Amino acid sequence: MILASYRLRVSPAWICAVLAGGVVLSLVLFLTIRGWEEREIKERVADLVHEQVEKLEITMLRSMEVLHSIASLHAAEGRIERDQFDRFVQEALAASLNCRRFPGIPPSRRAKG
């Protein structure tokens, strides 16, 4: 009986106020958490982009070294014969592959993959 009389005393204004407070609190929490997630995603993307840029820079530097080596070979020899160029390129490719080796992965698996 006490509960029945208590239910009658709660006005609709209080019900609306509690409901509105819950909705506002939910929206504030939603926006806060969404902001955290967006910042985290942006940081992850920035880190990934930074790593990819570093890898690209390394690749470009290696390519530039090979091009400068070819230019030096041409400047030293004047004219490069095909077999000279083939030997030079094979040495450069072997050096490039040695730079790319990863420890713990056998060469046979690297070649396939």
pLDDT value for 79: 82
pLDDT value for 8: 62
Single pTM value for the model = 0.52
State the chain's mean pLDDT as an integer: 81
pLDDT in tens, 28-63: 999 999 999 999 999 999 999 999 999 999 989 988
pLDDT in tens, 66-109: 788 888 888 887 888 888 888 887 877 777 666 555 454 455 54
pLDDT value for 98: 62
pLDDT value for 112: 47
Exposure string for 8-47, b = 16+ CB within 10 A, e = fewer: eeeeeeeeeeeeeeeeeeeeeeeeeeeeeeeeeeeeeeee
